[in-house]
Amino acid sequence: MDNILRAIVGPTASGKTRLAIEIAKSDDRIVLINGDAFAVYMGMEIGTAVPKDAELKDIDFRLLSFVSPEEEYSIAEFQKDCNRELDGIIKSQKIPIIVGGSALYVLSILNGLNVPKSYPEIRRKLETELLESTSEDLYRQLQLLDPVASLKIHPNNSRRIVRALEVCLGSGIKFSDFGSGVANYSTARENDILLVLDPDVNELKTKIRERLKNQLDDGFIQEVADLSKNYRFLSKTAQKAIGYAELNSVLNQELNLEQALENIINRTNKFSKRQNKWFKRDDRAIFVDPNILGLDDIKLLLKL
């Protein structure tokens, strides 16, 4: 087997998963690995568009629905799990393909990003401090501890300020010393293939609406209700999955369904615009319209 890593990425509703499954069903060497930050969570299969059992028949698709939604699942944990799967797949003479729309997760593997650990206790203290003061106070701390990082983070971006301080204080190493980020990769990875689905914008908006309708037909609202019954709470990461907070507001009679659905569609449209921007910085990226190229053409691009 070659030493090439392959990934199929793109915005929500672009057809990444459907295409990857089609490829896997046409070639029994293929093993798929989930590269979506939210599809790892159990009990959230409908809202995160995890493939149904019938779709997964006769293929191997790893890292789906295996983490409790009460747990935080960091990019560092994803790297560990994904690299373990990659090692096993390659040793078994199979071909792994990472599939998902979480750019940072996918690029952390393709670029060998050195992701700093999490330090929950320090983070909680910083978040408490943030409530009692302002992001500017924490930003001044960051300027003292890591001037380089402070220049790259806006003084009002409290989330990134807290994360940078968490790493500085927890590891004793400057946040900026953990590497130049996902935009860079070593020459050892220059032959990796990053296939980016890039459909027409208006068509994508239509597909996003269709996707939500299908999710509702599949029981999305009931899934949200079941999460409240089956779990004490959702982790901060799980809470970020689009659609859950909106539909929970409907169940709590804080929002009508029509407005909630429009909010979900608007959030998804905004998110989809951002997703491919990450990949445009990567000169390995091959942008394709999935409606123009056939399966054989796609497999040629993936060198399969």
CATH number at residue 159: 1.10.20.140
In a domain, 1, yes or no: no
Range 240-258 average pLDDT: 96
Instruction: Establish if 140 belongs to a structural domain.
Output: yes
Does 296 reside within a domain? yes
State the pairing for strand pair 61-62/6-9: unpaired
Q: What is the pLDDT of residue 279?
A: 84
Give the pLDDT confidence score for residue 186 in this predicted structure.
52
Is residue 27 classed as helix, strand or coil in its secondary structure? coil
Residues 133 and 129: their CA atoms lie apart, in Å, by 6
What's the pLDDT band for 135 if we cut at 50, 70, 90? confident
What are phi and psi for residue 107, nearest 5 degrees? -70, -25
CA 278 to chain CA mean position, Å: 12
Question: Per-residue confidence at 191, pLDDT binned at 50, 70, 90?
Answer: confident
Domain tally for the chain? 2
Task: Let me know: does 272 contact 181? Beta carbons within 8 Å.
Answer: no
Q: Do 86 and 168 lie in a common domain?
A: no
Confidence of residue 280 (pLDDT cuts 50, 70, 90): confident
Per-residue b or e along 12-38, where b marks 16 or more CB atoms closer than 10 Å to that residue's CB: bbbbbbebbbebbeeeeebbbbbbbbb
Answer yes or no: are the C-beta atoms of 107 and 75 closer than 8 Å: no
Is 147 within a domain? yes
Distance set, CA 185 to CA 104, 109, 276 (Å): 13, 10, 18
Question: 144 and 238 share a domain?
Answer: no
pLDDT at 180 over 70: no
Are residue 190 and residue 258 in the same domain, yes or no?
yes
- Which residues are 10's β-sheet partners? none
Residues 79 and 172 in one domain: no
Whether 290 and 201 share a structural domain: yes
Quick check: 190 and 284 in contact, CB under 8 A? yes
Residue 214 within a domain: yes
Same domain, 28 and 166: no
- Tokens 């990659």 appear where? 86
158: how many CB neighbours lie within 10 A of its CB?
18
Q: Residue 184: its pLDDT value, please?
A: 52
Q: Which tokens hold the place of 297?
A: 């053409």
95 and 193 part of one domain = yes
The one-letter amino acid at 299: K
Chain-wide mean pLDDT for the chain? Answer: 91
Question: How many Cα atoms occupy the beta-carbon half-sphere of 83 within 13 Å?
Answer: 15
Do 78 and 213 reside in the same domain of the chain?
yes
Cβ neighbours of 133 (radius 10 Å)? 10
- Give the domain-ending residue among 161, 178, 195: 178
pLDDT reading at 95 higher than 70? yes
Question: Are residues 224 and 108 located together in one domain of the fold?
Answer: yes
Q: 186 lies in which domain range?
A: 6-114+181-301
CA distances from 103 to 8, 9, 170, 276, 281 (A): 11, 8, 26, 8, 11
Letter for the amino acid at 55? E
Note whether 234 and 85 are same-domain residues.
yes
Residues 107 and 142 occupy one common structural domain: no
pLDDT over 90 (residue 283): no
Same-domain pairing of 168 and 85: no
- For residues 290 and 294, what is the distance between their CA atoms, to the nearest angstrom? 8
Question: Mean per-residue pLDDT for 79-96?
Answer: 96
Tens of pLDDT, residue by residue over 33-73, are 999 999 999 999 999 999 999 999 999 999 999 999 999 99
The pTM score is 0.84
State the Cα–Cα distance between residues 82 and 87, nearest whole angstrom.
Answer: 9
Strand order in the sheet with 61-62: 61-62, 30-34, 95-99, 6-9, 193-197, 285-288
